[in-house]
Amino acid sequence: MNHLFGWRRLARLTFMLLYFLIEVLCASQQTVQSESQRVKGIVGQSFSFPERVIKSGNLLYGDLGSIANVYPGKEGKITLEKRFENRLHLNNVTRYFTLSDLQIDDAGVYTVENTDEGKKIITFELTVYNVVSKPQVTECDSSSCSVVCYVDNEKEVTLTLYRGEEILNQTSSPDLTTDLSLRLEVEGKDYNSTYSCVAANPVSNETVHVPKCCSEDGHPNDADSDEKTLGLFIIAVICVLVASGLVGLAIYLKKSRNGHSQGRYLSLEV
Q: What is the DSSP string of 77-90?
A: EE---GGGTTTEEE
Shared domain for 36 and 125, answered yes or no, is yes
Give me the pLDDT at residue 7, please. Answer: 57
Strand, coil or helix: 119: strand
Residue 252 lies in a domain: no
Residue 13 lies in a domain: no
pLDDT in tens, 210-252: 887 776 555 555 444 455 556 666 787 787 777 777 777 777 7
Shared domain for 110 and 188, answered yes or no, is no
In angstroms, the CA 87 to CA 98 distance is 8
Whole-angstrom Cα Rg for the chain: 39
pLDDT score of 38 more than 50: yes
Q: Indicate the residue among 209, 235, 257 that finishes a domain.
A: 209
Classify the phi-psi angles of 156: left when phi > 0, otherwise alpha if psi is within -120 to 50, otherwise beta: left
pLDDT in tens, 108-159: 999 999 887 778 899 999 999 999 999 999 888 777 778 899 999 999 999 9
Q: How many residues does the chain have?
A: 270
Residue 117 lies in a domain: yes
Q: Indicate the residue among 129, 153, 182 that finishes a domain.
A: 129
Q: Indicate the residue among 78, 111, 129 that finishes a domain.
A: 129
Contacts of 110 (CB under 8 A, 6+ apart): 49, 59, 60, 61, 62, 123, 124, 126
In angstroms, the CA 128 to CA 110 distance is 13
Contacts of 86 (CB under 8 A, 6+ apart): none
What is the domain count for the chain? Answer: 2
Range of 191's domain? 136-209
Give me the pLDDT at residue 69, please. Answer: 85
